[in-house]
Amino acid sequence: MRLTQDAPAKINLGLHVLRQRPDGYHDIDTVLHRIDWADTIAATPAEGLSLTCSDPSLPTDKDNLCLQAAHRLADAFDVATGAALHLEKRVPYAAGLGSGSSDAAATLRLLTRLWDVGASLEALREIGATIGADVPFFLQDAPAARATGRGDTLSTLSNDGGPYRLPFPLLLAVPSVAVSTPWAYTQVTPAATDRPDLQRVVCSNDLPHWREALANDFEAPVMAAKPSVSAVRAALQDTDAAYVSLSGSGSAVYGLFREPAAAQAAQDALRDSDTVDVQSHLMPAARPQQ
């Protein structure tokens, strides 16, 4: 028996670093939105726990979040059997897209099926939160959520009576540079006062308002330290993108467009450019809710 589970990436729609906590982490306020660029985790029954990966640069030992998730699930539910895991890596890592956390969440979902573990969603979230702050988000079905606290206190984002879905075509561009999250936090001065309500701003779907009020606190320091990220942002701003932003604390930059043709033209321009070298992913706008 071989089971598979997709592990989608996310973008941040605004990200405020509010304050440093006594435990050394930071309180943040952000809107997370799942996108359809995804890794895939596969599992087959085995005597022990092991992991292989399509990307040879990634660790496949205890430092990998997939194996951490597998061991913690097995410990929590006294699972005696094992699994041979394989990670098909497509989403760039250290890019602000949450791919490691999503891989861990997908592993938890996958192994609850393989091992027939009767784990509730809340139990999986508790395990996931010990692995990474974004893991609980990837365990939920809703496509978007406001994340506060360390990023693991979630409230589902709703608009017009249903779950919020990004109504604009999105082009994601990722240069081949990694950004360390711990380093990025050292570059930001936390600020908790006079911050816009991110949930209200996002749900307005007003792109001119987004340009004024929807900010990522990591953007300025990352752009200053990573010229290739700054170059990608400039390249996207030279297209017909109506809103451009860094995602998370990483290197990924995305642009939102009013028309699919403009997003496709921007992707073609990036691919033909001699000045930027990126992986790109184009995501269509969500269909209007019926």
Strands 144-148, 170-175: parallel, antiparallel or unpaired by DSSP?
unpaired
Six-digit token string for 121: 């969603």
Helix (H, G, I), strand (E, B) or coil at 70: helix
Closest C-alpha among 105, 86, 96 to residue 154:
105
The C-alpha angle with vertex 212 and arms to 219 and 133, in degrees rounded to 5, equals: 45
Backbone angles phi, psi at 166, to 5 degrees: -60, 120
Q: How many angstroms separate the Cα of 93 from the Cα of each of 4, 20, 89, 135, 175?
A: 20, 25, 9, 15, 11
User: Is residue 116 annotated as a catalytic residue, yes or no?
Assistant: no
**Cα separation, 71 vs 280, whole angstroms:** 33
**N- to C-terminal Cα separation, the chain:** 38
* Active-site choice (29, 39, 134, 152): 134
Give the dihedral of Cα atoms 288, 135, 98, 164; nearest 10 deg. 10
* Active-site choice (10, 29, 39, 152): 10
User: Is residue 10 annotated as a catalytic residue, yes or no?
Assistant: yes
Residues tagged active-site: 10, 134
